[in-house]
């Protein structure tokens, strides 16, 4: 029988450190290197608003140069705080194919220490998970790529194509100083035959692997501002025009806005294939919606799951709010930001019109703030799909590979718009019902991190090394 011991914070920290050190002893050299890089990246503040991706990019550049990548082939480019890393491992001779580009982003969304159970800018290994801002989005993939590039550089094995490692800034802000800028201003450095990026996390439920995702399309991010105004005055004399109340009522109506189901080719295939993996009524609903997107009963069942609802339709949700200027004054203005994730062919003007109709108040203005560019679905190359499937089955024999439409937005868009095939696939699995990217206590399973390392190692070697 175990006895509970009362220990102080210092002792608890010491036990955590000792436990992590003991776990690290069991790692292979490859795993230890990836974990070390992961820790370094998590603990560099690269938040979009105030952090520095340049620091992270320079740190990774130092590692690559130390591994033997020539100085001219490792560059950090971009504005002072938003540097991008572009590194090239050369095939030598006449490469048989255009480069393979490994793409990940270094910037992360903000995280307040007061919101988290743990320090978001320390990599904490606890209860079988790695915690920290960026553990999922997207520093796991960045760390794995750097570790693999170092391994290949040290081995000096012949490649059949150049290997590009591109770690970007500003993905969370729309790519203006990151992928979009690199493709527009430095196309010669990032021109590739194939891009492997984030956006294709595998899905788990209850510890069971459901599917390996291959992202071949993604939704567009659109921001709209809802603004209510009034003349204001003393709070002791309230009237009917309070902008905060008016805005609150408008947001309550927006919350109920439900766009119609509209399945593109990728989303239809997703539900059709996932129906063979899911069970019971959910599986039946998936098969039904794939056959008939107008099946209201199937749509209602799937809409109860946020991950599936996001695949069915355009969605809009409030993300920020502000209003008022003094505690004893009637507000003169109240504002809310509504972020919409639109299907690739859903026009911004139509989304805005739907919001105006939902708000149903001419005194609440709906202003389009920003639309992130998007590209249509990329046709999945049969040879590439076969390679991904072969590698996935070597690790998870009974887990299918399923093409998906990303419900977020990634840097893949800018490569697709430039005519460069880009796919999201990572071998990193996460709980489909507890996805914490951008949220409190972001985390990734420890075993899933090392599984992703092995998956990407095998995939990259199949695609880049000479047979």
Residues 404, 235: Cα–Cα separation, whole Å: 52
| Confidence class for position 22, pLDDT limits 50, 70, 90 | very low
List the structure tokens of 220: 């567009």
With respect to residue 4, please indicate whether it lies within any of the assigned structural domains.
Answer: no
Residues 46, 68: Cα–Cα separation, whole Å: 26
For position 48, what pLDDT does the model report?
A: 83
CATH number (domain holding residue 252):
3.30.70.360
Which of 329, 349, 371 terminates a domain? The answer is 371
What mean pLDDT comes out for the span 50-65?
Answer: 97
Closest by Cα among 461, 398, 464, 401 to 427: 401
For position 293, what pLDDT does the model report?
A: 96
Q: pLDDT digits over 314-339, tens only?
A: 999 999 999 999 999 999 999 999 99
With respect to residue 7, please indicate whether it lies within any of the assigned structural domains.
Answer: no
For position 23, what pLDDT does the model report?
A: 54
How many domains is the chain partitioned into structurally? 2
Q: Whole-prediction pTM value?
A: 0.87
With respect to residue 319, please indicate whether it lies within any of the assigned structural domains.
Answer: yes
Residues 151, 342: Cα–Cα separation, whole Å: 40
With respect to residue 1, please indicate whether it lies within any of the assigned structural domains.
Answer: no
DSSP 159: B
Claim to verify: residue 78 and residue 142 sit in the same structural domain: yes
Claim to verify: residue 197 and residue 224 sit in the same structural domain: no
pLDDT at 428 over 70: yes
Claim to verify: residue 155 and residue 302 sit in the same structural domain: no
Query: Would you say 413 and 216 are in contact if contact means Cβ atoms under 8 Å apart?
Result: no
For position 370, what pLDDT does the model report?
A: 81
Q: pLDDT digits over 153-168, tens only?
A: 999 888 999 999 999 9
Claim to verify: residue 36 and residue 160 sit in the same structural domain: yes
Claim to verify: residue 179 and residue 229 sit in the same structural domain: no
Claim to verify: residue 227 and residue 365 sit in the same structural domain: yes
With respect to residue 351, please indicate whether it lies within any of the assigned structural domains.
Answer: yes
pLDDT at 377 over 80: no
Claim to verify: residue 200 and residue 71 sit in the same structural domain: yes
With respect to residue 20, please indicate whether it lies within any of the assigned structural domains.
Answer: yes
pLDDT at 430 over 90: yes
Query: Would you say 222 and 340 are in contact if contact means Cβ atoms under 8 Å apart?
Result: yes
Residues 139, 326: Cα–Cα separation, whole Å: 41
With respect to residue 3, please indicate whether it lies within any of the assigned structural domains.
Answer: no
pLDDT at 137 over 90: yes
For position 431, what pLDDT does the model report?
A: 93
Domain residue limits at 362: 220-371
The half-sphere exposure of 34 on its side-chain side, counting CA atoms within 13 A, is 27
CATH number (domain holding residue 162):
3.40.630.10
Closest by Cα among 179, 203, 204, 180 to 102: 179
Claim to verify: residue 77 and residue 124 sit in the same structural domain: yes
For position 12, what pLDDT does the model report?
A: 43
What DSSP string describes 157-223? --BSS-EEEEEES-GGGTSTTTHHHHHHH-HHHH--SEEEESS--EEEETTEEEEEEEEEEEPEEEE
Claim to verify: residue 168 and residue 189 sit in the same structural domain: yes
With respect to residue 8, please indicate whether it lies within any of the assigned structural domains.
Answer: no
Query: Would you say 51 and 43 are in contact if contact means Cβ atoms under 8 Å apart?
Result: no
Summary mean pLDDT of the chain: 92
What mean pLDDT comes out for the span 217-233?
Answer: 95
Claim to verify: residue 322 and residue 432 sit in the same structural domain: no
Which of 317, 336, 371 terminates a domain? The answer is 371
Claim to verify: residue 182 and residue 132 sit in the same structural domain: yes
Which of 315, 347, 371 terminates a domain? The answer is 371
Closest by Cα among 175, 184, 231 to 370: 175
Claim to verify: residue 268 and residue 195 sit in the same structural domain: no
List the structure tokens of 232: 């204001």
pLDDT at 13 over 60: no
For position 282, what pLDDT does the model report?
A: 95
């Amino acid at each position: 029988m175990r006895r509970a011991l009362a220990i102080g914070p210092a002792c608890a920290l010491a036990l955590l450190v000792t436990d992590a050190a003991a776990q690290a002893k069991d790692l292979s050299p490859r795993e230890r290197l990836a974990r070390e890089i992961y820790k370094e990246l998590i603990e560099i503040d690269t938040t979009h608003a105030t952090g520095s991706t340049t620091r992270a990019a320079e740190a990774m550049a130092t590692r690559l140069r130390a591994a033997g990548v020539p100085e001219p082939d490792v560059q950090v480019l971009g504005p002072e705080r938003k540097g991008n890393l572009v590194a090239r491992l050369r095939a030598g001779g006449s490469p048989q194919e255009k480069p393979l580009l490994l793409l990940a982003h270094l910037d992360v969304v903000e995280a307040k220490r007061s919101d988290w159970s743990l320090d978001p800018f320390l990599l904490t290994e606890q209860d079988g998970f790695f915690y920290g801002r960026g553990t999922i989005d997207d520093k796991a993939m960045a760390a794995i790529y750097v570790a693999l590039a170092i391994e290949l550089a040290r081995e000096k094995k012949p490649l059949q194509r150049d290997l590009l490692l591109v770690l970007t800034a500003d993905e969370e802000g729309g790519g203006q100083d990151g992928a979009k800028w690199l493709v527009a201003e430095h196309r010669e450095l990032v021109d590739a035959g194939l891009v492997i990026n984030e956006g294709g996390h595998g899905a788990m439920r209850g510890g069971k692997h459901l599917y390996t995702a291959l992202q071949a399309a993604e939704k567009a991010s659109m921001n709209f501002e809802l603004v209510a105004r009034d003349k204001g005055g003393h709070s002791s004399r309230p009237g009917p025009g309070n902008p905060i109340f008016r805005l609150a009522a408008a947001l309550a109506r927006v919350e109920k806005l439900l766009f119609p189901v509209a399945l593109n080719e990728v989303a239809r295939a997703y539900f059709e294939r996932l129906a063979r993996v899911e069970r019971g009524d959910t599986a039946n609903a998936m098969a039904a919606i794939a056959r008939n997107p107008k099946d209201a009963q199937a749509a209602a069942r799937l809409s109860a799951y946020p991950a599936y609802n996001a695949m069915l339709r355009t969605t809009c949700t409030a993300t920020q709010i502000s209003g008022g200027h003094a505690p004893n004054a009637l507000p003169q203005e109240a504002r809310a930001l509504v972020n919409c994730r639109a299907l690739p062919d859903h026009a911004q003007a139509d989304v805005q019109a739907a919001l105006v109709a939902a708000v149903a108040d001419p005194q609440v203005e709906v202003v389009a703030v920003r639309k992130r560019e998007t590209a249509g679905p990329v046709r999945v190359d049969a040879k590439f799909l076969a390679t991904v499937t072969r590698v996935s089955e070597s690790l998870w024999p009974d887990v299918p590979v399923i093409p998906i439409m990303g419900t977020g937005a990634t840097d893949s868009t800018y490569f697709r718009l430039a005519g460069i095939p880009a796919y999201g696939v990572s071998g990193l699995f996460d709980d489909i019902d507890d996805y914490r990217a951008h949220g409190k206590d972001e985390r990734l399973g420890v075993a899933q991190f090392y599984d992703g390392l092995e998956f990407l190692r095998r995939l990259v070697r199949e695609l880049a090394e000479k047979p």
